[in-house]
Amino acid sequence: MFGYRSNVPKVRLTTDRLVVRLVHERDAWRLADYYAENRHFLKPWEPVRDESHCYPSGWQARLGMIGEISQTGAPPFISRWL
């Protein structure tokens, strides 16, 4: 994207129905929206989550920590969206 500089490698796999890429802090609202909309469906398979899991502010904090961890050379965090 023009004007956006990052040292993070650009990883993107795309098909007609799926895009796989590294998660960014700007994805916080998308993740929060996904978990809020699917909370009841995912409940049988997901661990018990606090309410921040369905709010962008909670995801901003999580993604900030994930970003810090990735700076240490740890493998990237992968999320799933449909």
CB atoms within 10 A of CB 58: 18
The pLDDT of residue 1 is above 60: no
In the 3-class helix/strand/coil scheme, how is the chain assigned residue by residue?
Answer: CCCCCCCCCCCEEECCCCEEECCCHHHHHHHHHHHHHCHHHHCCCCCCCCHHHHCHHHHHHHHHHHHHHHCCCCCCCCCCCC
pLDDT in tens, 13-39: 899 999 888 788 889 999 999 999 999
Is pTM, for the whole model, over 0.75?
Answer: no
pLDDT value at residue 77: 62
pLDDT value at residue 21: 83
pLDDT in tens, 39-69: 999 989 988 988 888 899 999 998 888 888 8
7: closest CA among 82, 51, 70, 64?
70
